[in-house]
Structure 1
Amino acid sequence: MVTSEVCTTAFLSAMQTCCTEITALEKFSQMYTRNLVDSGNGKFNLMILCWGEGHGSSIHDHTDSHCFMKILQGNLKETLFDWPEKKGNGEMTKKSERVLRENQCAYINDSIGLHRVENISHTESAVSLHLYSPPFDSCNTFDQRTGHKHKVRMTFYSKFGERTLCVSMGSLNN
């Protein structure tokens, strides 16, 4: 079993990566991109996420994974939400929101709630480093107006600096 101490150690080690190495792994597109840097022998995924101007994620869970995030460039807004009621028939409850600035870190897991991350700048891109442990290949996204959830497959825009064929997060039928 991977402990939070192992995750923290791996994340802190990864943060010492040379800036030129990270810059080489940054890949931007029309949507935010998930770029795999290290698969951690199946124990974690380390990724560079690149956020163009105005790009953002859906409200999502982390499939019982720990998520550590560090802002490498720019600013990102994180909005936390409570889990929706079982019926999923009403507007989701916003718990908090904050703007994370360069070099700030954040942590979330499913016991904390759900979140959305977005680059609120319309003139500058942003880059963040994420460590997920254990790694996961699908998660649930949520409609803010209704709380309805939708299972999606997670994909990588690039792996280890090489572009992948899979370009978007695909829907999975429940």
Structure 2
Amino acid sequence: MNTQEHIHALINVLSHSSKEDYTDILLNFNFQDINFSEIENWKIHSYTRNCFYKDENFELILICWDKGQKTAIHNHNGEECWVYLLEGELEEDFYELDDSGQLEYKSSQILRPNEITKSEGHDGFHRLRNSSKSRALSLHVYAKPIAQSLTFDDALGKLVDKNLRYDTFKSFVSVGL
């Protein structure tokens, strides 16, 4: 199978499965047979969000991280998110709102290739950062697709609603799977 056929197989299995099975699906899928170079898009000053599938139930986004790049602290607006690390190393910091509505650091974890992390709900916030000395690639599955998140704005020093965007959108499958 070629890359498009493997991506089609991933989309097909996710489409016909319950969200409760997504973790197992991602951990057991053979990502080594997918050449992500056709989807990759790199920027010097920020990570990139490269969507390659989206329907009403989920979206698949390849995030390309150069050394030291990180997200702002954010939540997923009540939607579930799975992050599967393909290459490199990411550090994930977890935060919660305290009684006064301020973000409070809780813990961190290191994500290595072939490992997964999952975010859900409105209360949890996190930040991902490429903590390695090389590039990193991560696959993000958002169920349902996420258009907005509550994000900490460093300049304003507070949480703000942020509309999310893709740096690229390249569909690898035809409509009507």
With normalisation by structure 1, the TM-score equals 0.77
Question: Structure 2: which amino acid aligns with 1:52?
Answer: D
Using the TM superposition, give the Cα deviation of residue 80 of structure 1 relative to its aligned residue in structure 2, in angstroms: 0.4
Assess if the C-alpha contact under 8 Å between 2:76 and 2:122 holds in 1.
Answer: no
Assess if the C-alpha contact under 8 Å between 2:77 and 2:122 holds in 1.
Answer: no
Unpaired runs of at least 5, structure 2: 1-16, 173-177
1:49-92 per-position Cα deviation (integer Å, ceiling 9, x unaligned): 0111110000001011111011100000000001244x54x5x2
Assess if the C-alpha contact under 8 Å between 1:11 and 1:131 holds in 2.
Answer: no
Which of 83, 94, 102 is 2:97 aligned to?
83
Assess if the C-alpha contact under 8 Å between 1:25 and 1:161 holds in 2.
Answer: no
Q: In structure 2, do the counterparts of structure 1 residues 141 and 112 end up closer, same or farther at CA, with 3 Å as the change threshold?
A: closer
Q: In structure 2, do the counterparts of structure 1 residues 72 and 4 end up closer, same or farther at CA, with 3 Å as the change threshold?
A: same
- The whole-number CA distance in structure 1 between the counterparts of 2:24 and 2:89 is 24
Q: In structure 2, do the counterparts of structure 1 residues 53 and 19 end up closer, same or farther at CA, with 3 Å as the change threshold?
A: farther
- For the pair 1:97 / 2:112, whether they are aligned, the reply is no
Unpaired runs of at least 5, structure 1: 163-174
Using the TM superposition, give the Cα deviation of residue 26 of structure 1 relative to its aligned residue in structure 2, in angstroms: 1.3
Q: In structure 2, do the counterparts of structure 1 residues 48 and 158 end up closer, same or farther at CA, with 3 Å as the change threshold?
A: same
Where does structure 1 differ by over 6 angstroms across 4 or more consecutive aligned residues? 144-147
Tell me the SS of whatever aligns to 2:149.
strand
With normalisation by structure 2, the TM-score equals 0.76
**Which position in structure 1 is the counterpart of 2:134?**
124
Q: How does 1:1-174 map to 2 (within 5 A)?
A: 3-5=18-20, 7-8=22-23, 11=26, 15-17=29-31, 19-29=33-43, 30-39=45-54, 41-85=55-99, 87-88=100-101, 90=102, 92-110=103-121, 113-121=124-132, 123-143=133-153, 148-160=158-170
Using the TM superposition, give the Cα deviation of residue 42 of structure 1 relative to its aligned residue in structure 2, in angstroms: 1.4
- The whole-number CA distance in structure 2 between the counterparts of 1:155 and 1:110 is 21
- The whole-number CA distance in structure 1 between the counterparts of 2:146 and 2:159 is 17
Q: In structure 2, do the counterparts of structure 1 residues 9 and 105 end up closer, same or farther at CA, with 3 Å as the change threshold?
A: closer
Greater alpha carbon shift after TM alignment, 75-84 vs 107-116: 107-116
